[in-house]
């Protein structure tokens, strides 16, 4: 090499090659070394993030705190015979971790909200007053209602004002919920703490011998994961590698950290809601005891399903029945969920995470419960052969549906009131998503190329879709026409939703033209 340098011809006016090449060599070596250090540092950083990304609290809890049960909101009855519910959205201070006050939001309190309860046929009227510092909305997730009462991003409630939607309960008994839905800020508002259960009852479900004493043998279980700073303040940061959004290390159940539940009945019904913004749980008991899955998003199953695990993605609900022996203590746990990701991506999406959620403490003597009925309720049959049309939706990346980001001024889909349709939703991305439709309960007729798993046999309004997976949903469109006010469909991983993975559909009378949004044009 040096021979080369010596003998190389030197042109006049240019520095000799030797003098040019030496610094270049040094530069090259330096750059290589720097590059190596950089690669090592990156690898180290990635390894650090990797090792940090695996979260578990197994064995770390003492179950010191009694599980809080959200109070049931008593309605007043107005002259028209409607049940009127008052919700005041407010901010305040909560002690989510013992001895560490943090700023939170809630409804009729500083964290979460009361349980609303109504019965099939009730005319309900909501009075939602926004005492928060920002405009927000309250959406009744899972409810059949007119689009204008739905509480999606178009029904903004300005600070200081009250929103008063009203509708008639026209669907079976179910565990529904409510939460804010302002476009672009849903994750933030839910994370701060605004959410609550909306339970529906009906005579058919009420006649079944199922545990139904709220807070006694019929227990609400609202699951949320949080990040906290060292002083116990809510942390809004997240891992830069998470493909699904913010994942917390601490679990709150009904706003209770490190909780236990005392029970006095042999058989207990748990109504589980995943009110987390991104985390998917995989529920079961630490001793792997079987339990009965009796309900999903939209109500009871036709028959119970004996199982040991139930996955639950954000927005979904399940009702389970579990049996206990006197004096025993059993932990409800979340096992590593199958997100359909490879090991590397999965780690950053929570696929390796496990959590002790709640310790059930059975009393020394338990009141016997009736056996689990082997038939629950009859479902209205939707006929796939009669489906008027098939809509195809593709989830792209982490912010688009059919290639488009959410636009409040654009109607993406128009359908005819009350008709049955097939919605084919394909996850064309490498990320997990879960798909939610407003105003309806649907049936999953095909899941990732095959028959739906038995746990998806019931009414659903939100369904997990693994990367590359396609689901076919049989949907009966809402029975309320309004060409000017849309319902939403979106990914219920709230960061994806906020980033634009949401679309709008309007429901019109038969033969009416596709919807548009007149209010938007006036503003234009
Ligand atoms: Cu629970 Cu559109 O949301
Ligand atoms: Cu919803
Ligand atoms: Cu998503």
| DSSP state string for 267-296 | EEEEEEEE--SS--EEEEETT---EEEEEE
Clarify whether residues 488 and 340 are in a common domain. Answer: no
**Same structural domain for residues 341 and 393?**
no
- Is the model's pLDDT at 180 over the cut of 90? yes
Mean predicted confidence (pLDDT) in 78-88:
98
Rounded average pLDDT over 277-302? 98
User: Residues 214, 337: one domain?
Assistant: yes
How far is residue 378's CA from residue 371's CA, in Å, rounded to a whole number? Answer: 19
Which pLDDT score, from 0 to 100, does residue 42 have?
A: 82
Whether 141 is in the pocket of ligand 1, judged by its Cβ within 6 Å, is yes
Q: Does the residue 92 lie in any domain?
A: yes
The whole-angstrom separation of Cα 501 and Cα 436 is 11
293 and 233 in a single domain? The answer is: yes
Residue 15, pLDDT above cutoff 50: no
Q: Is residue 409 part of a domain?
A: yes
Query: How many domains does the chain divide into?
Result: 2
Name the residue range of residue 448's domain. Answer: 384-508
Q: What does the pLDDT average to over 262-290?
A: 98
Model pLDDT, residue 119:
98
Of 4-8, 27-31, 223-227, 407-411, minimum mean pLDDT range: 4-8
Average pLDDT, the chain: 93
Q: For residue 435, how far is its CA from the centre of ligand 3 (angstroms)?
A: 8
190 lines ligand 1 (CB under 6 A): no
More confident residue, 421 or 241: 421
Quick check: CB of 299 below 6 Å from ligand 1?
A: no
Q: How far is CA 469 from the centre of its chain?
A: 18
pLDDT of residue 48: 72
Do residue 339 and residue 389 come from a single domain?
no
Mean per-residue pLDDT, 217-230: 97
Query: Do 359 and 390 belong together in one domain?
Result: no
Looking at the structure, tell me whether residues 342 and 398 fall in a common domain: no
Pairwise CA distance, residues 339 & 332, whole Å: 20
Residue 519 in domain = no
Confidence of residue 14 (pLDDT cuts 50, 70, 90): very low
Average pLDDT of span 258-265: 98
pLDDT bin (cut points 50, 70, 90) of residue 217 is very high
Q: Mean pLDDT, to the nearest integer, of 367-385?
A: 95
- Please check whether residue 356 lies inside any domain of the structure: yes
Q: Which two tokens stand for residue 407?
A: 């636009």
Asked if pLDDT for residue 240 goes beyond 90, the answer is no
Phi, psi (5° rounding) for residue 432? -75, 150
Ligand 3: centre distance to CA 490 (Å): 8
Do 346 and 398 fall within a single domain?
no
> Which atom belonging to ligand 1 lies closest to the Cα atom of 462?
1
Confidence class of residue 9 from pLDDT cuts 50, 70 and 90? very low
Cβ–ligand 1 distance for 496 under 6 Å, the answer no
User: Is residue 27 over pLDDT 90?
Assistant: no
Is there an atom of ligand 1 within 6 Å of 490 CB?
Answer: yes
- Please say if the pLDDT value at position 22 is more than 80: no
Residue 35's pLDDT band, with cuts at 50, 70 and 90, is: confident
> What average pLDDT does this structure show over 379-389?
90
Q: Averaged over 462-482, what is the pLDDT? A: 97
CATH of the domain at 342: 2.60.40.420
Q: How many helices (H) and strands (E) does the chain have?
A: 7, 33
| In a domain? residue 53 | no
Q: What is the mean pLDDT of residues 364-375?
A: 97
With bands split at pLDDT 50, 70 and 90, how would you rate the model's confidence at 268?
Answer: very high
Q: Grade residue 514 by pLDDT with cuts at 50, 70 and 90.
A: confident
In the chain, the percentage of residues whose pLDDT exceeds 70 is: 94
The pLDDT, as a whole number, for residue 3 is 38
Q: What is the pLDDT averaged over residues 333-362?
A: 96
User: Is position 463 within any domain?
Assistant: yes
Q: Which residue has the higher pLDDT, 19 or 522?
A: 19
Residues 337 and 458 placed together within one structural domain of the fold = no
Q: What residue owns the CA closest to ligand 1's atom 3?
A: 141
| Domain final residue pick, 336, 367, 398 | 367
Both tokens of 105, joined, read: 């939001």
Judge whether 58 lies within some domain: no
- Measured in Å, residue 153 CA sits from the centre of ligand 1 at 10
In this predicted model, which residue has the larger pLDDT, 36 or 254? 254
N- to C-terminal Cα distance for the chain? Answer: 72
Q: Which atom of ligand 1 is nearest to the CA of 438?
A: 2
pLDDT digits (tens, 9 = 90+) for 145-165: 999 999 999 999 999 999 999
Q: Is residue 282 part of a domain?
A: yes
Query: What is the predicted pLDDT for the residue at 326?
Result: 98
Q: DSSP secondary-structure letter at 336?
A: P
Q: What is the rounded distance in angstroms from the CA atom of residue 432 to the CA atom of residue 178?
A: 24
Q: Is the CB of 436 under 6 A from ligand 1?
A: yes
Which secondary-structure segment (H or E) carries 302?
strand 299-307
Ligand 1 mean position, distance from CA 175 (Å): 14
Dist. CA 324 → ligand 1 center (Å): 34
pLDDT (mean) for 352-376? 97
Query: Tell me: the pLDDT tens digits for 38-66?
Result: 888 888 777 777 777 788 999 999 999 99
Burial 112-145 (b: 16+ CB within 10 A, else e): bbbbbbbebebbbbbebbbebebebbbbbbbbbb
Query: Is residue 168 domain-shared with residue 204, that is, in the same domain?
Result: yes
Looking at the fold, whether 91 and 176 belong to one and the same domain comes out as yes
Q: Which atom of ligand 1 is nearest to the CA of 177?
A: 1
Same domain, 149 and 285: yes
């Amino acid at each position: 090499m040096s021979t080369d340098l010596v003998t190389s011809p030197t042109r006049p006016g240019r520095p000799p090659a030797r003098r040019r090449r030496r610094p270049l060599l040094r530069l090259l070596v330096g750059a290589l070394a720097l590059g190596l250090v950089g690669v090592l540092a990156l690898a180290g950083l990635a390894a650090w993030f990797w090792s940090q990304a695996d979260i578990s609290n197994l064995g770390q809890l003492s179950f010191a705190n009694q599980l809080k049960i959200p109070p049931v909101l008593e309605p007043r009855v107005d002259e028209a015979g409607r049940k009127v519910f008052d919700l005041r959205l407010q901010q305040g201070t909560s002690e989510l971790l013992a001895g560490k006050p943090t700023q939170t939001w809630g409804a009729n309190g500083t964290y979460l909200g009361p349980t609303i309860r109504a019965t099939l046929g009730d005319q309900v009227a909501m009075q939602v007053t926004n005492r928060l510092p920002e405009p927000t909305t309250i959406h009744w997730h899972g409810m059949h209602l007119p689009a204008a009462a739905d509480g999606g991003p178009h029904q903004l409630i300005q600070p200081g004002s009250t929103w008063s939607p009203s509708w008639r309960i026209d669907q079976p008994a179910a565990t529904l919920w409510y939460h804010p839905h302002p476009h672009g800020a849903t994750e933030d508002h839910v994370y701060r703490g605004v959410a609550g259960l909306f339970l529906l009852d009906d005579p058919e479900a009420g006649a079944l011998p199922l545990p139904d004493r709220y807070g006694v043998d019929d227990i609400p279980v609202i699951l949320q994961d949080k990040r906290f700073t060292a002083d116990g303040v809510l942390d809004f940061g997240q891992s830069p590698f998470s493909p699904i959004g913010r994942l917390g290390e601490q679990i709150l159940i009904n706003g209770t950290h490190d909780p236990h539940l005392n029970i006095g009945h042999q058989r207990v019904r748990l109504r589980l809601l995943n009110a987390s913004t991104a985390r998917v749980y995989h529920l079961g008991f630490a001793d792997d005891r079987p339990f009965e899955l009796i309900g999903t998003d939209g109500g009871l199953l036709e028959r119970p399903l004996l199982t040991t695990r139930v996955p639950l993605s954000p927005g979904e609900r399940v009702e389970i029945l579990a049996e206990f022996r006197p004096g025993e203590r059993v932990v409800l746990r979340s096992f590593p969920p199958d997100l359909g990701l490879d090991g590397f991506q999965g780690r950053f999406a929570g696929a390796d995470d496990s959590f002790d959620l709640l310790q059930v403490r059975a009393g020394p003597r338990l009141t016997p419960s009736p056996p689990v009925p082997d038939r629950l309720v009859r479902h209205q049959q939707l006929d796939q052969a009669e489906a008027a049309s098939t809509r195809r939706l593709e989830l792209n990346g982490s912010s688009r549906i059919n290639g488009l980001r959410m636009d409040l001024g654009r109607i993406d889909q128009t359908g005819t009131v009350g008709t049955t349709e097939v919605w084919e939703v394909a996850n064309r991305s490498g990320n997990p998503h879960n798909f939610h439709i407003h105003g309806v309960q649907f049936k999953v007729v095909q899941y990732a190329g095959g028959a739906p798993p038995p746990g998806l046999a019931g009414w659903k309004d939100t369904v997990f879709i693994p990367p590359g997976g396609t689901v076919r949903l049989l949907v009966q469109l809402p029975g309320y026409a309004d060409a000017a006010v849309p319902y939403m469909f979106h990914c219920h991983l709230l960061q994806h939703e906020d980033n634009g993975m949401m679309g709008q559909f309007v429901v019109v009378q038969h033969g009416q033209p596709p919807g548009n949004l007149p209010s938007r044009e006036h503003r234009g």
